[in-house]
Structure 1
């Protein structure tokens, strides 16, 4: 093949030569990757340039291909003629392939036929096995029924004297030991019954899914007769074992009951034979129409009855409870605690002492309820494990027993009793209650009733632990009711109107009692009461206990916020009384106006300005205030009285100066009209000066009175202002009296 000539430029390079970065030989490589090739070029060659170069190369390749076809056209046309023998070769191969296809189809048909026959054989075999199994089960059923009938016929042949002493003992696997040495006939019969029960259990398994078979239907009467005989014999043997306290016979009978899945019958027999006579002696049934039973039924107290019942259980029922709960006995399916003992106790109480469940008498109801809980705890003591306790509590009779105690109704009655008592006490006036020779922390009946109500909520005679959340809410409601009563009264007192008559009509001294009681209540809540409640709730989580403490503390804070308001009311009442004397200083203006009289001693009103405060502090009731409260009341009263003193004195001086200035202008105008000189009056003392002189003497005496009650007048800002208002210029810098 001749080389294709390529045009060159002036320098000898091909005219259509590719750039140096474009190498067409790379496309012929066996490991050529378009993405790798493009990614290696795009970092320095724009994609548009690369695409243009590729299109140019494609055009060049297409042109070369056309040139090659045109150049070797003869060879290209003769390519088909060289395949002339391919048809014959295909014909030769087609025959063996068809033959092979036929053989495969025949083999496949044979395999399918064999598979169908094999499946049909398997089905026939399965049907035969099922029929054989059914036949074997029918034969087993027949043999078991016959065996049971034979064993039942042997029962009457057992000796009837069941009073002999038991020599044999039961092993943990239910077999007998020392049977040859002489086992009582009762034990022998119980063993035989257990064996029959085991066979009956097998029989129940055999006929479980085949009840509709004619064979089973034909044997139904025989099976029922055998079942009835077994039940009667087992009942008789179990009752005799209970009467003679034969543990071995009882053990075998219980295993027989468990084998036939008839535990309820054993529980009912134990209840009827052992439990019922014992409980009936303790709580006679009023339906017997016996006079002594009716007389006993009139007393609905249960605590003594429970004590007797527990003693009976300990003496006469403990053996079967221990037997049924022993390890590896297989008797855990029985629940004599619930279905025999508790069921009978509930029955006799409902019949003989139905009033015990009535919440109409809260005290008796609570006593019986707590006694019942203690009785249930006693029964749970016979449970060998926590799972047994849970199973006991899940029994229907347990839930029925608990439903008899309507604690919600009990709480409603207690709520009405406690909350109603507090409401009644809050309707009357506030008066101290005589202590009757005892030390009484609280003084008012309202406060005493509140504290008694709070203690009642958490006393052993009232509290039901399962409803402790409701009693906590009641406690907080009592505190809120008392706090609302106080806050409403204090607001009415300050506004001099409202519905709280007790606060409006109360004397200021009466608020000392209120202040004292609130302080004591706050102390009780934060100390003894909250500690008592926390101890009662000690079984709860720390988070719950903390929330309870915070809620009680919050109620105490609400009361704490009322103490400053009560102090302000007492202070305002004292200041109001003092203000009546202070207003007498207005007479100073009339006394010295237009006169030549000069003040020589303090005014009489000064002594009376602090008299209400002194009387209050020296009274018997002030002893109920703490030192801190007394000091706060003293300082608050003095500050307000002094402030009011300053207001009245400054107003008097201001009005006097204003009046004197007006008179001075009128006088000067008259003198100018007549041409007279005003020099003659310049040496006279003005009314303002005389009034200030009198006020200065008064505030000095007032300061001495303050010192007599332990107050430094210079420490009071309003007193300093008063001093600056009336003191002479030479004495204003130093307060001294």
Structure 2
């Protein structure tokens, strides 16, 4: 250090750095030498040398390192010389520091011991507090469990006592607890049934509380020992409640029924009440209307029709079931959980029909099936009329009884049978020979051929009340379009075969009708095509009838239906020129038959010297088909005919 100190101090003003010709400072080191790399924490000298030796000679690297070392030493000497006076006087200013540090160390150690002791005491107090809280929580839980068990035992005893008091409730005035149930409601003169129903409602509420206690104290020996008592009390309550409810139904006692329903709702046993009402009231009424023995029904020549049965059932519901529906739907009664419409009435009706008239669900007889299906929908609408709100209707439709009832009606099979009947009838008619319809068939209709009449009849059948099922109207619309397409294909294939092959044996089967028919039949076809197009046009009656049946659908649906029918008619309109061309071709062919004998004229003049004394009969023969079919004499047809003759 002394050697460094004797070095001369740096000049007051350092010389300016060297610059190049353009005034830029000249770097002291080459570009590949980076002194900042030595300051990195991850500096590795071996890796640094290995990296530079690939393009820098070792001699150059050693020279740069020595130069850098010299620069660092010079900088260190400069720093020492700059602060040398302070560095030399440092030892003089540090006298007595050790004694002062020793004096400060003692109180700091004392403070550290006190803090450690306080921390240990606080930790011990916290542990004791936590242990106390855990004991308190355990004691609280044990007390709550004990109270729960005591309440459970008390409720079980109370339920057993109230059940025992049921038979003598009206005459036993010594039991203060029974008398305190609801003295305001149990007025003087209240019958045994009403008193028992009130007691049963109270017992049911206690039973509901008992179930709540048991659910919170499961798997405990005390609860397991009381299980038999609870089951016995439940059995006695169910039996007593069933007898009281049936007695109230038989006597139409609204108060008794109301109290019993509230009791069933309290113990969450609505299905028992619904089943009791079904067995007590609904089932006897339905059995009188629908015979339950199918063999007896067949022996008595009973039909599978349901319309009359539904009318009688509606009267019975209105007369004998309306009272309980009104009670269960009364406002603020809490009895909305019951569904007597679905689980009692509809379920019993379905069971009676399945046992007494199973053929009513069979689509094998489409006409009877449709009548029964529509009558059933009307019956469901009648039952939905007792629902007080839209949510009640939705709930009724979501019941299993409603779903099972609708599942019995296989409308898909019904449509398949109707499809075969309607489409098969039209197809069989189209395969027959063209023939005009009789006077009875064509009466009141602008059509002449049986095929056209069958098409119009089939379309009207699809949308008649005796066939149409509104839930499958999309399928009937598709069937209508298929019928129109089948009629159009029948005409198109026949016209194509007539023009192309003219009797060729390779013609398709549905085109044979057009190969040999006279021109008169094509006149009928032209007339019927015009009539069918007019009937199916926007101004015709068919689209109006369909829109009237679908009036409940949105306007967008009606527009789509109309557009689909009009689009199906377009190919039929395109066949009109083809029909006219076929008729013209028939006339031209007949006219050409007389032209085959024109060669006889030249032969006659060549072989004989006879002179013509009268006109040739071939001219009148050529024009004879036109004369016979003078209906074709309008300008466009005559121009085509003349062109073909030339």
Both proteins in one fold, TM over 0.5: yes
Counterpart residue number, 1:559 = 572
Counterpart residue number, 2:198 = 191
The alpha-carbon distance between structure 1 residues 542 and 81, as it changes in their structure 2 partners (threshold 3 A), is farther
The correspondence of residues 225-374 of structure 1 with structure 2, limited to 5 A, is: 225-286=232-293, 291=296, 293-296=297-300, 298-374=302-378
**Higher Rg:** 1
Counterpart residue number, 1:727 = none
- With 420-429 and 531-540 compared, the bigger mean Cα shift is at 531-540
The correspondence of residues 27-426 of structure 1 with structure 2, limited to 5 A, is: 69-70=80-81, 73-79=84-90, 82-158=93-169, 179-286=186-293, 291=296, 293-296=297-300, 298-426=302-430
Secondary structure, counterpart of 1:207 in structure 2: helix
How many Å apart are 1:465 and its aligned residue? 1.1
Counterpart residue number, 1:515 = 526
Q: Distance in 2 between matches of 1:82 and 1:253?
A: 104
TM-score, normalization by structure 1? 0.72
TM-score, normalization by structure 2? 0.81
The alpha-carbon distance between structure 1 residues 5 and 485, as it changes in their structure 2 partners (threshold 3 A), is closer
Counterpart residue number, 2:474 = 469
Q: Distance in 2 between matches of 1:224 and 1:353?
A: 42
- Two-structure CA RMSD over aligned residues (Å): 3.4
Q: Distance in 2 between matches of 1:435 and 1:556?
A: 27
Q: Work out whether residues 584 and 641 of structure 2, in 8 Å CA contact, stay in contact via their aligned partners in 1.
A: no
How many Å apart are 1:280 and its aligned residue? 0.7
From 480, 484, 503, the equivalent of 1:479 is 484
Q: Deviations over 1:521-550 (max 9, x none)?
A: 111122222222222222223333222222
The alpha-carbon distance between structure 1 residues 234 and 640, as it changes in their structure 2 partners (threshold 3 A), is same
Q: Work out whether residues 286 and 297 of structure 1, in 8 Å CA contact, stay in contact via their aligned partners in 2.
A: no
The alpha-carbon distance between structure 1 residues 70 and 221, as it changes in their structure 2 partners (threshold 3 A), is closer
From 482, 491, 495, the equivalent of 2:496 is 491
Q: Distance in 2 between matches of 1:565 and 1:145?
A: 94
How many Å apart are 1:314 and its aligned residue? 0.2
The correspondence of residues 502-581 of structure 1 with structure 2, limited to 5 A, is: 502-526=513-537, 527-581=540-594
Q: Distance in 1 between matches of 2:282 and 2:587?
A: 78
From 463, 471, 475, the equivalent of 1:458 is 463
Q: Distance in 2 between matches of 1:286 and 1:540?
A: 43
Q: Work out whether residues 415 and 474 of structure 1, in 8 Å CA contact, stay in contact via their aligned partners in 2.
A: yes
Q: Work out whether residues 572 and 637 of structure 1, in 8 Å CA contact, stay in contact via their aligned partners in 2.
A: no
Q: Distance in 1 between matches of 2:599 and 2:531?
A: 44
Aligned residues: 575
- With 234-243 and 221-230 compared, the bigger mean Cα shift is at 221-230
Q: Distance in 2 between matches of 1:261 and 1:111?
A: 55
Q: Work out whether residues 579 and 641 of structure 1, in 8 Å CA contact, stay in contact via their aligned partners in 2.
A: no
The alpha-carbon distance between structure 1 residues 608 and 554, as it changes in their structure 2 partners (threshold 3 A), is same
How many Å apart are 1:78 and its aligned residue? 3.7
Q: Work out whether residues 254 and 331 of structure 1, in 8 Å CA contact, stay in contact via their aligned partners in 2.
A: yes
Q: Work out whether residues 575 and 637 of structure 1, in 8 Å CA contact, stay in contact via their aligned partners in 2.
A: no
Q: Distance in 1 between matches of 2:645 and 2:292?
A: 86
Counterpart residue number, 1:447 = 452
Gaps of at least 5 residues in structure 2 are 1-8, 26-70, 172-180
How many Å apart are 1:91 and its aligned residue? 3.6
The alpha-carbon distance between structure 1 residues 517 and 177, as it changes in their structure 2 partners (threshold 3 A), is farther
How many Å apart are 1:94 and its aligned residue? 3.1
Gaps of at least 5 residues in structure 1 are 9-13, 23-59, 161-173, 619-629, 647-737
